[in-house]
Structure 1
Amino acid sequence: MPEPLGKMFLYTSVLMAGTCPLFYYLVQKGFARTSFYQMALEQLHSHPEALEALGTPLHVHYLQLPSKHNFVDITVAWLKIPVSGSKSEGHVYTRSTRVAPFQRWQLQEVVLELKDGQKIPLFMVSEKNGDIVNE
């Protein structure tokens, strides 16, 4: 015997209400496992000036997925990673590239921008000759 339309709508709504947050969580975890995300955070954790500006303990927050600053395709990845510490908060902006699909990602630039507007370059590749400029 067919279910009343109202019951079917209710069941579908409950199913979607549970599935959407789960999907969002899984996408966030997927980003956190990518090499370009991990390499950017390694640069942050190894930069004394950035750690001093943010304060400890350092917290990395979920990406704002709909943000125009978060973009990944086959050969380029730009991310805006929200971070905070006991002294301040801000965003780590990162740009990574790769020559072709299934090749390794190469960091091009990692910059910490604090909420007061101060920018701390964490990692940069020179555009002229491809040398790493670590400040």
Structure 2
Amino acid sequence: MSVPLGKLVFFSSVATSGTCTLLYFLIQKMFSRASYYQLALEHLHSHAEALEALGTPLSVHYLQLTDKYNFEDIADAQLKIPVSGPKSEGHLYVSSSREGPFRRWNLQEVFLELRDGHRIPVFKPSEEGAAR
């Protein structure tokens, strides 16, 4: 039994776009479950100046996977997380590192850059020791 070429192309394109969409959401979920991502958001939610600038409630949006700033390798990770609130919007920049595979991630720096270019430091490693 032969399938008309039009139907074959249509079903192939539906299957391909469905697979790409699923892969996109799985990669987003992988990043959002990473410890450095979660820690950065915890610092943002507890930072008074950042909350005042954005307003509450905060919304965290999907990463732009094609942005060159977003990457993870064995020892380093960087993210540019889009965030917004009722007052403003911007990106939460996260830098993290670890000593090797299967080691714990350590935040290096987290800062919020608002749409107007204003930067708010949210975390530096020296602050962690003072907070404990």
Normalised to the residue count of structure 1, the TM-score between the two structures is 0.90
CA distance in 2, matches of 1:94, 1:54: 17
Runs of 4+ in 1 over 6 A off after TM superposition: none
Opposite residue 117 of structure 2, the aligned amino acid is G
CA distance in 2, matches of 1:90, 1:34: 21
CA distance in 1, matches of 2:55, 2:10: 47
8 Å contact kept, 1:111–1:123: yes
Opposite residue 11 of structure 1, the aligned amino acid is F
CA distance in 1, matches of 2:78, 2:18: 29
Paired residues, what number? 131
Q: Secondary structure at the match of 1:80?
A: strand
- 1:60 corresponds to: 60
**Where in structure 2 are the equivalents of 1:7-86 lying within 5 Å?**
7-86=7-86
Q: Secondary structure at the match of 1:79?
A: strand
Q: Secondary structure at the match of 1:68?
A: coil
- 2:5 corresponds to: 5
Farther off after superposition, 18-27 or 109-118? 18-27
Normalised to the residue count of structure 2, the TM-score between the two structures is 0.92
> Per-residue deviation at 1:98?
0.2
Q: Secondary structure at the match of 2:109?
A: strand
- 1:91 corresponds to: 91
- Unaligned 5+ residue runs, structure 1? none
8 Å contact kept, 1:124–1:132: no
CA distance in 2, matches of 1:83, 1:133: 27
CA distance in 2, matches of 1:132, 1:116: 31
Farther off after superposition, 15-24 or 47-56? 15-24
> Per-residue deviation at 1:3?
2.1
- Unaligned 5+ residue runs, structure 2? none
Q: Which has the higher helix share?
A: 2
> Per-residue deviation at 1:132?
5.1
8 Å contact kept, 1:123–1:133: no
> Per-residue deviation at 1:78?
0.4
CA distance in 1, matches of 2:108, 2:20: 33
CA shift digits 1:85-115 (9 cap, x unpaired): 0100000001000000000000000000001
CA distance in 2, matches of 1:89, 1:66: 20
Farther off after superposition, 16-25 or 72-81? 16-25
